[in-house]
Amino acid sequence: MSTRREMLARSAAVAALLAAAGVLPARAQAAWNKAAFEAKKIDDVIKALGLAKPVESAEISFTAPDIAENGAVVPIAASTSLAGVKRIAFLVEKNPTTLAGVFDFTDAVETSVSTRVKMAQTSNVLAVAITGDGKVLFAQKEVKVTLGGCGG
Amino acid sequence: MSDPMRIRAQVQGSGAVVRVLMSHEMETGLRKDAAGATVPAWHITEVVAALNGKTVMTAQWGTAIAKNPFTQFTVKGAKSGDKISISWTDSRGDKRTDEVVVA
């Protein structure tokens, strides 16, 4: 017969296992915007993020290659000199899910970030900057992909 | 458990440039394995960067961030000897934190 103490220890172990398996989502994950990341169109992403209609701006400097030989690793970078930008999101228009990533800045970092994304096919890539007072600006560039990075 | 991240933080001008290379499969959930079964999605969802324990940047990532993700950003006012730590959480609830001293 197992004692109460053993039972408690065992249930704690089971809970830990469940948490590790992702059955019990960590609290931090609740902040992850599932709807935005599953959206398949730019408009849907903007809506899911709760943003106003984006306006194209020359003040966002967005770097992406003209041609990406390997769609699995496409280096992109965005920075802006605009004051009050709190957030930069990267969107790939023709990917199975449009939103690639969102970066939230505090005042302690420069509003400049670079990363690498996957692209399924030739598509427009957008860098969307969101200011603290709700302005939404974007810059875009078409990247030609010769070898896709999704599926296959 | 996952492999350690490679982080480099170097003073440049008035701040420090931080480059992070994480080790993660970043499965999209679209790929099929040899047997034709879909490989379930498994990717980093959240990233937190901190300077001396204070959060300076966070990120939410989807499946379209490349495998073994790389990211670079600049922390204002970071000095040599400051500590930069990066943490991520993935879609399975795994976590990892690594710390580096600004050079």
| A4, two tokens | 């109460």
Phi (first) and psi of residue A108, to 5 degrees: -85, -5
Could you give the CA distance from residue B89 to residue B70 in angstroms, rounded to a whole number? 15
**Are residues A23 and A66 part of one domain?**
no
Residues in B closer than 8 angstroms to A149, CB to CB, are 66
pLDDT in the model for residue B65: 92
pLDDT in the model for residue A74: 92
**Are residues A53 and A13 part of one domain?**
no
Of B36, B20, B31, which Cα lies nearest the Cα of B63? B31
Q: Å from B32 to nearest chain A CA?
A: 7
Is the residue at B1 inside a domain?
A: no
| Closest CA in chain A for residue B70 | A115
> What DSSP designation does B81 have?
T
**Are residues A55 and A103 part of one domain?**
yes
**Are residues A54 and A4 part of one domain?**
no
**Are residues A106 and A134 part of one domain?**
yes
A105: contact with B, CB 8 A cutoff: yes
**Are residues A76 and A109 part of one domain?**
yes
Task: Give the residue carrying structure tokens 């249930």.
Answer: A11
**Are residues A80 and A12 part of one domain?**
no
DSSP alpha helix (H) spans, chain A: 4-21, 34-38, 42-48
Residue A60 near residue A127, CB atoms below 8 Å: yes
**Are residues A26 and A36 part of one domain?**
no
Chain segment B29-68, per-residue pLDDT in tens: 888 888 888 888 899 999 999 999 999 999 999 999 999 9
**Are residues A101 and A76 part of one domain?**
yes
Q: How many residues does chain B have?
A: 103
DSSP alpha helix (H) spans, A22-151: 34-38, 42-48
Q: Which residues contact A46 (CB under 8 A, 6 or more apart)?
A: A53, A54, A128, A136
- Contact A119/B64, CB-based, under 8 Å? yes
Strands, E, within B3-82: which ranges?
A: 6-12, 15-21, 44-51, 54-61, 70-76
Q: In a structure prediction context, what are the per-residue pLDDT tens digits for chain A, which is 152 residues long? A: 556 666 666 666 666 555 554 444 444 445 788 888 888 888 888 888 888 888 998 889 999 999 988 888 999 999 998 888 999 999 999 888 999 999 999 999 999 999 999 998 899 999 999 998 888 999 999 999 987 665 54
CB-facing half-sphere around the CA of B103: CA atoms within 13 A: 8
Is the residue at A17 inside a domain?
A: yes
**Are residues A139 and A71 part of one domain?**
yes
| A51, two tokens | 């943003």
- Contact B54/A108, CB-based, under 8 Å? yes
pLDDT in the model for residue A115: 94
Of B63, B91, B93, the CB nearest to A20: B93
| Domain of residue A51, residue span | 32-145
**Are residues A73 and A11 part of one domain?**
no
Interface ipTM = 0.90
**Are residues A23 and A50 part of one domain?**
no
Mean pLDDT of B77-101: 91
Q: Which residues in B have their CB inside 8 Å of a CB on A?
A: 15, 26, 28, 30-32, 45-46, 49, 51, 54-67, 69-77, 89, 91-95
User: What CATH number is attached to the domain comprising A101?
Assistant: 2.60.40.2470
Of A76, A50, A54, which Cα lies nearest the Cα of A64? A76
Could you give the CA distance from residue B93 to residue A39 in angstroms, rounded to a whole number? 22
| Closest CA in chain B for residue A73 | B66
Of B44, B95, B48, which Cα lies nearest the Cα of B66? B44
Phi (first) and psi of residue B102, to 5 degrees: -65, 130
